[in-house]
Amino acid sequence: MSDDSASGSNAFEGVESGPLPSDAAPAARAGGAGSEAHPSIPALIERFGDAVLHHEVTAGDQVSVIVDAGRVREILEWLKTHADQHYEFLSDLTAVDFGGGRPLQVVYQLWSLAHRRNLRVKAELPLSGLQIDSVEPLWKTADWLEREVYDLFGIEFVGHPDLRRILMPENYAEGHPLRKDFPLRGRFSRAEQTRRALSPNVEDFYTPLEMELGREPQTIELPTRGAGAATPAED
């Protein structure tokens, strides 16, 4: 008999009850044993004080720290360059929209090759102020990652050298597809979406910079078959 059976607990209770709404999900452990054992947490609190807003442990051992968005560049630079931290690898940069008017989170997943440990840093942005400093000068890999977050969530990274859409066309007019307020089928009607898909503009395929440089758009005009036009030879 398993330990779960002996104790009367059911490992599949969560499956039977189904998922909880995001605003009713149990809170992560704040300042739990995992975060206390992580050497970066007390060091961050000692160095930055009130700029470290909260820390937590999720998924058993994933340590996350929420910091003041206005100081995120300073904090991340310290985490990268300080010898006792040395998080030289930015493995991911993304965002989370919880919906319901709540702030968006910008998430930085860091890894220290020297110390063989990871740390997740988060910063929260109100919907009325979706701006945060770019960390592209710290990690060049943030270039495309920040462009993706800008494209899909509408967060502006101040100081980014080339902040423009990376997945959607530059003239995409329906907003930011990973926002919770984005309609499942888009903001335009199916008829309008079909019309736009069948009548693309040159701007859909060329960046504004390329257009400004005066490069001749590479367009192809398909020939129309007239009454006397030759037909393809049959096999």
Asked if residue 15 is part of any domain, the answer here is: no
**How many folded domains does the chain comprise?**
1
Asked if residue 215 is part of any domain, the answer here is: no
pLDDT tens across the length of the chain (235 residues) = 445 544 455 555 555 555 544 444 444 444 445 566 799 999 999 999 999 999 999 888 899 999 999 999 999 999 999 999 999 999 999 999 999 999 999 999 999 999 999 999 999 999 999 999 999 999 999 999 999 999 999 999 999 999 999 998 877 878 899 999 888 777 777 787 777 767 777 766 676 777 777 666 666 665 665 555 554 444 4
The set of residues, in sequence order, having a beta carbon less than 8 Å from that of 153 and lying 6+ positions away, is 95, 97, 104, 130, 176, 178, 179
Backbone angles phi, psi at 225, to 5 degrees: -90, 115
**CATH, residue 85:** 3.30.460.80
Burial 10-19 (b: 16+ CB within 10 A, else e): eeeeeeeeee
Boundaries of domain holding 88: 27-168
